[in-house]
Homo-oligomer: A and B are copies of this chain.
Amino acid sequence: MTAFLEGCRAAVGAAHVLTAAADMAGHLTDHRRRHTGAALAVIQPGSSAEVAAIVRLCRQYRVPLVPQGGNTGLVLGSVPDTSGAAIVLSLTRLHRIRSIDVVNDTLVAEAGCILKNVQDAASAANRLFPLSLASEGSCTIGGNLSSNAGGTAVLRYGNARELCLGLEVVTAEGEIWDGLRGLRKDNTGYDLRDLYIGAEGTLGIITAAVLKLYPRPRAQLTALAALRSPAAALELLASVRERCGDALTGFELMSDVCLQLVRKHFPALRAPFGKAHPQYVLLELSDQESEAHARQLLEGVIGAALESGLVDDAVLAASLGQSAGLWQLREHISAAQAAEGKNIKHDIAVPISRIGAFIDTTDRLLAQAFPACRLVCFGHLGDGNLHYNVSAPAGMSDEDFLARQAEVNRVVHDSVHRFGGSISAEHGLGALKRQEILRYKSPVEIGLQRAIKQALDPLNLMNPGKLI
């Protein structure tokens, strides 16, 4: 492999080929610290041409590669296995915003741009780039697209897939496909863009993207509604959508268990209500007109829900500070659950109409199989996407609980499947769910996926062992 590494050094500069353990360490362990792999080297190309040169070297020497952005994924998609045979190809040096076109409402970003920086660049041009998720301060746009990230604004703006008009990709052959078209309509062949989006780097490497921008809302208003069940939350969703249409940009469900956990571990965060309620919904309205208009809309719809008894109590943020406070309750759930101990995460989606029945049924099945386990269920109700997490019963050690992870997964995922759902709504498959998915997909679908992988990466060097 000396010749290979020499070639890499010649291609990207010796300073960007890391082989010392200390230099590589941060790239080999996943975000949740559940897995540490090994690598031949971590290579940091500085341009798309350099990415292509590295891919060609990998082909020549048959070296597998693992593309990596911010390494914030939750399914072991961006870390290598323990064999040490692969390189990690870090995209973080490709961090330029190449251009911005406010009339076309597009921005061209390189793969290594941190999501927050893309949001800020849009904002500086008086535009909105709506993709928003917990790790936005460190995840990169290449990773967002490769995993088709979701987040809190999908209800209105769609997933990462819907926010991208074109791509630049280094193919498995080490060629550059320039598909950086900033067009709203283009029906000239197979949809290569959407094939690379969500492919988790197993077909090629996204090096840049044309992203869609939107007008910045004039006002954003947040409210928290307390109600008795997920079914009531669904009714509220329907009535808000009916009344407010696209102005509704967020609709997040969280159970009282979630709120209690947040209050326990982050006591500085204020309790929104005098007493506990079974469920809460965080609503966000974005308005193109004015704050007064948004407030009138939101007060109208919440008022009607209070009057009809659909909602038991509600608070409307009166300031940006109060709004941030409400969002913090939602955003601290994961951290609170982590502080409480290790847990088993499920990132699932079902048709929105079946969410209530899914939660009832699955809660019951889990209580039967794992008495006293604690359910921490929250998520993007408007998208049918729940983070249906399971914590150990009080008193059980993390190790004992995690040893039963496969059994817990089985109960939850089988239930998801019966409800016509997906076992990975927004996190992807990575190495973590790659085997699990075989249980739920038809042989026809698996066959089609394999044919595509074989056609575009016949040497199986692109992020092998992930997704497929």
- Enumerate chain A interface residues (CB-CB to B < 8 A): 101, 103-106, 147-148, 150, 154, 158-159, 161-162, 171, 175-179, 181-192, 194-195, 197-199, 203, 214-215, 217, 234, 238, 241-247, 288-289, 297, 349-354, 380, 383-385, 420-429, 433, 437, 440-442, 444-445, 448-449, 451-456, 467-468
A452 close to B455 (CB less than 8 A): yes
A384 close to B422 (CB less than 8 A): no
B194 close to A349 (CB less than 8 A): no
Q: A176-B444, A186-B349, A454-B455 are in contact. List 9 more A-B contacts (CB 8 A).
A: A103-B238, A104-B351, A171-B448, A185-B349, A188-B423, A189-B429, A191-B198, A192-B448, A194-B195
Chain B residues near A428 (CB-CB < 8 A): 187
Chain B residues near A448 (CB-CB < 8 A): 171, 177, 190, 192, 456
A442 close to B178 (CB less than 8 A): yes
A183 close to B351 (CB less than 8 A): yes
B189 close to A468 (CB less than 8 A): yes
9 pairs of A and B residues whose beta carbons are closest in the complex = A245-B288, A455-B455, A103-B353, A194-B194, A186-B422, A185-B425, A104-B353, A184-B383, A104-B351
A183 to B161, CA, bound (A): 14
A192 to B453, CA, bound (A): 12
Residue A445 contacts which of B147, B177, B350 (CB distance < 8 angstroms)?
Answer: B177
A349 to B159, CA, bound (A): 24
A421 close to B351 (CB less than 8 A): no
| A372 → chain B closest CB, angstroms | 31
A242 to B213, CA, bound (A): 12
A184 close to B385 (CB less than 8 A): yes
Chain B residues near A105 (CB-CB < 8 A): 352
Chain B residues near A104 (CB-CB < 8 A): 351-354, 384
Most buried by B among A150, A184, A186, A421: A184
A75 to B188, CA, bound (A): 12
Residue A444 contacts which of B171, B422, B433, B468 (CB distance < 8 angstroms)?
Answer: B171
B351 close to A106 (CB less than 8 A): yes
A282 to B214, CA, bound (A): 22
A191 close to B161 (CB less than 8 A): yes
Chain B residue nearest to A126 in the complex (CB): B242
A106 to B350, CA, bound (A): 13
| A185 → chain B closest CB, angstroms | 4
Chain B residue nearest to A286 in the complex (CB): B245
Chain B residues near A440 (CB-CB < 8 A): 188
A selection of 26 A-B contacts at a CB cut-off of 8 Å is: A101-B353, A103-B352, A103-B353, A148-B187, A179-B445, A181-B422, A183-B421, A184-B352, A185-B380, A186-B422, A187-B422, A187-B426, A188-B429, A189-B445, A189-B467, A190-B195, A190-B452, A190-B453, A191-B194, A194-B194, A195-B195, A217-B245, A243-B289, A247-B288, A451-B456, A452-B455
Most buried by B among A162, A234, A246: A246
A385 close to B185 (CB less than 8 A): yes
A452 to B177, CA, bound (A): 15
Chain B residue nearest to A150 in the complex (CB): B185
| A253 → chain B closest CB, angstroms | 14
Chain B residues near A467 (CB-CB < 8 A): 189-190
B101 close to A183 (CB less than 8 A): no
